[in-house]
């Protein structure tokens, strides 16, 4: 019973890291789109809020 629970946690962690890495990719794309000044800062904040 206990080991099954632990395995579920490992799977969850893997899924979470996959989601996070996918989010980072999207975040990098947003950073590339908005390089200039305040535009960049605004989109930076929005991207962080959306991804996490």
Identify the CA nearest to 47 among candidates 1, 13, 33, 17: 33
Secondary structure of 6-39 as H, E, C letters: HHHHHHHHHHHHHHHHHHHHHHHHHHHHCCCHHH
| Mean pLDDT, 10 residues at a time, the chain of 52 residues | 70 75 70 60 62 50
Looking at the structure of the chain, the number of domains it has is 1
Could you list the residue range(s) of the whole structural domain that residue 26 is in? 2-51
pLDDT score for 41: 61
pLDDT score for 52: 47
């Amino acid at each position: 019973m206990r080991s099954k629970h632990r395995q579920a946690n490992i799977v969850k962690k893997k899924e979470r890291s996959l989601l996070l890495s996918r989010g980072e990719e999207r975040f990098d794309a947003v950073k590339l789109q908005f390089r200039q000044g305040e535009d960049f800062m605004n989109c930076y904040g929005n991207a962080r809020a959306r991804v996490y």
